[in-house]
Structure formats: C-alpha cells, structure tokens
Amino acid sequence: MTEPLLKIENLRIELALRSGQAPVIDDLSLELNAGETLSFVGESGCGKSMTALAIMGLLPEKVGSIASGRILFDGRDMAQMNDTELRAIRGNEISMIFQEPMTSLNPVYTVGEQIAEVLRRHKGMNKRDAWARAIELLDAVRIPNAKSRVSAYPHQMSGGQRQRVMIAIALACEPKILIADEPTTALDVTVQAQIFDLLRDLGRDTGTAVILITHDMGAVAEMADRMVVMYAGRKAEYGPVSPVINHPRHPYTKGLISCVPHLLAELTEERPDLTEVPGIVPALASFGTDACLFASRCDLADDKCRSQRPPEVAFGDQHSACWKADQI
C-alpha cells in the first residue's frame, strides 16, 4: 500500500493565553494522498487555518507551538525541522494561497518580479528564464494578455486577477501539496466559481494534492475527495465527501449542511425555513476540557456528552467523534 504524502499524527498545537496554554488543535490525525483534494470545513475559530499554518511551519512566533504529535511529509517530520529545513520545503514542495492577496503581494514589485523571485530562489533559474516562466504561469492561471500583465503591479489588477497571481506563485515550483485557505474571500460569486474551477483543473492536470479550507459546502461537494469537519480544535467528522454530506454522523456536520440554502425543484413548492446551529464556538480557554465541546449546542446531548470526550467511531470510511453517532 502506498504511503500517504502527508500524515498528521495526534497533533496538538497550543497558544499562550494569559490564563496559560490552550490547545487550539487537540489530537488531530489525518492523511493526504498524492493527487487528492482534502477539504477542511467548520466555523471561524475551529482550527482550520491553524492546522495549515502548522503544516507550513508558520505558527505565530512566541505564541503558538506544537506541543506534541507529528507532521510527516514524505516520511520527514516537519514538526522537528529547523527554520532552514522548513524554508527549503515552504513555497517549493508545499505552497499556500492565503485569504487576502493584497496583504500577501508586495505592492512595490510587479507580479512578474514576484513570481520570478520564487523561481530564482528555489529553482536556481536566471532572471531571463524566470521571467519567461512567469509569463507562462500567468497564462496557465488564465490571466488575459499575460505578456503585458506580467509587468503590472498588484493594485493595477482586480481581486480575481490578484488571486490568480497568488495561485501562479504557489504553483511556480510545481509543489506536491497546495494549501488554499479561503481562496475566494471577498470575491463575487462568478469569480469564486472561476477560481474553484481553476484549482480543480490545475490539481487534475499537475497531480498536486490540494488542501482546501472553505465555508462553501458547494465547493467541497464539487472539488474534494475527502473532508474534515473541525470543531473547537478537534476533528468532529472525517471521511469521503459523499457519505459525509449525504449521511452526516455528527450533529455539527448535520447543522452545517442544514444551513446551506438551496433552490426549489418547483416554483410552487414552499421553501422550508433555514435552520441554524444555535450558540457559538466555545472560548479558546475551554478547548482542552474532557467533554464533547459541542454539547452546549446539541439537542441530543446528555450528561455523558457533557462530562466525557467522545471517541472516534467508524462507519466504513466515515469517522465521527460523537456519542450519539449511531442515532443520527
């Protein structure tokens, strides 16, 4: 059996609070295979982006740290690497697209210069070859008139074009893993669809494995092979997309899916009211407690849920961390 490209084992990430250390990621384990798309979903503050930053070795300095666990990439434990080793991987073998391109792109350099810099640093290309490759990459991410747009500055491009530039930078070194953290934030619906189509096509054409962090269940259903539902730093549910979306085994997953509006099959039908998940994600200081952290928001919760942490239960390839998983 082929070893997974990325394997996270019992990962615990802690943040320093005034009250002490709090586990923003608590005992997370998962696998990512070459060429597949794995999606992370969940409310803001559930640990999705923090997991991505840990993989990239970009946890907040002096505040965030890996307390235990391993992040195995091609058999190498990234949690034990020093800065020099991480820099050799970051942007080269593992790349990341951040939420807001205007805070990631340098406003005083052209987009071509910024793409070329990655190629010169990691691939050792000379200036001329790197510039030519930058044009090819802009063309690959479907920016019109790439030869002229390569000399544009970030502020001279639209939001969708800037996000495409970020994708071009991320793909410049042909990484084995591409992490896309909310890649369509602040973009209109049409551009969002174009960006998701682009990521799907590039993943298929290049064989790059993709970690997609998003709130868009439609994008998950369309793009991902497997999905991870995160809640309060823990993995609530995990498995292939189809069974998780169509037959969720965790009340939180079921609640997230119920919040998604949908079109009616017939205009004469009465649209049911959208349901909502009551309450909010608990405070970070309570993330490490020995209980189900979703219990205060769950209609099925009982005393056992409020006092004991649920184990991970398997339903074929689908896994749920819920005491009531067989009742959902």
Domains plus CATH for the chain? 6-93+173-261+271-327 (3.40.50.300), 101-172 (no CATH)
Query: Quick one: pLDDT at residue 98?
Result: 83
Query: Quick one: pLDDT at residue 269?
Result: 67
d(CA 187, CA 158): 10
Q: What is the pTM of this model?
A: 0.91
DSSP readout, 129-184? HHHHHHHHHHHHTT-SSHHHHTT--GGGS-HHHHHHHHHHHHHTT--SEEEEESTT
Q: Can you list the alpha helix ranges (DSSP code H) found in the chain?
A: 48-56, 83-89, 101-104, 111-123, 127-140, 146-149, 159-171, 189-206, 217-223, 241-246, 251-258, 303-307
d(CA 75, CA 84): 18
**CB–CB of 199/210 below 8 Å?**
yes
**How far apart are the two ends of the chain, measured CA to CA in Å?**
33
Query: Quick one: pLDDT at residue 196?
Result: 85
Residues 6+ apart with CB under 8 A from 115: 130, 133, 134, 137, 138, 150, 165, 168, 169, 172
CB burial of residue 176 (10 Å; 0-12, 13-18, 19+): buried
At 187, list the tokens.
């973009």
User: Which residues in the chain come in under a pLDDT of 70?
Assistant: 1, 263-269, 271-272
Query: Quick one: pLDDT at residue 291?
Result: 93
d(CA 325, CA 209): 30
**CB–CB of 320/292 below 8 Å?**
no
